[in-house]
Amino acid sequence: MWYWLFKYVFMGPLLQMLGRPKVVGLENVPDRGAVILASNHLAVADSFYKCLVVRRRITYLAKSEYFTGTGIKGRLTRWFYTAAGQVPIDRTDADAALAALTTATRILGEGKVLGMYPEGTRSPDGRLYKGKTGIARLALETGVPVIPVAMVGTDDVNPPGSKMWHFGRVEVRFGKPLDFSRFEGLAGNRFIERAVIDEVMYELMQMSGQEYVDLYAADVKVALEGGAGGSDGPPPARMPTSAAG
């Protein structure tokens, strides 16, 4: 109930006013059945705008920190994510990653829409970063189609690092479902999983117009926070070789 109240009453009208969202390719999202929405990640607003424009309910695997905060802010955050039906996951080690995969498999087994960010974290500079293979393994093990979703303009409406939201124009672009049935039975093969996620990232690059960087966003964030890179400039950019054919 709270999910729909947030969408249509409490937050939806404000999001519409701020971002004036334009939607392209929404017909690619099926009316029923399990599906993975794999999106680039520019801002916190990405999740809100996808939920706003997709008619079906989207479930996200939210980091466990959202559910463990203390004080008034922590309790409000925990209530919000719980009320909206989001699922907490621990991302600290390999065992936690396996548990997250198991949780995601269960959600898809219930025929739901699962929202995921293959970059694993928000882009530190607006570019598109190397995808992690969790989505690839999930798609191969479940046979569920992956729909690439390009978010455009959310970082203008909701600038990373800022508590202020601004007026802008958000565009949500849904690509055609990607079918990886040709790799059936090859889940767990790291070369196949890399090829699959590179194909997803290539589609996102084409749809979003972002420059691609063949590094993990989390590693770049750590380097930036530690002052690494210095005068060497930004990391080199190229499209995923295994997807480029």
Q: Where exactly are the structural domains of the chain?
A: 2-244
**Higher pLDDT among residues 95 and 6, named by residue:** 6
- Per-residue pLDDT reduced to its tens digit, 59-108: 988 777 777 778 888 888 888 777 776 777 766 656 667 778 888 999 99
What's the whole-model pTM score? 0.86
The pLDDT value recorded for residue 8 is 84
What CATH number does the domain located at 2-244 have?
Answer: 3.40.1130.10
Higher per-residue pLDDT: 79 or 37: 37
Q: Which two tokens stand for residue 168?
A: 């802008």
Rounded CA gap, 174 and 23, in Å? 8
Residue 50: the pLDDT is 96
Task: Encode pLDDT of 192-244 as tens digits.
Answer: 999 999 999 999 999 999 999 999 999 999 998 875 444 344 544 444 443 44
Q: Are 150 and 117 in contact (CB under 8 A)?
A: no
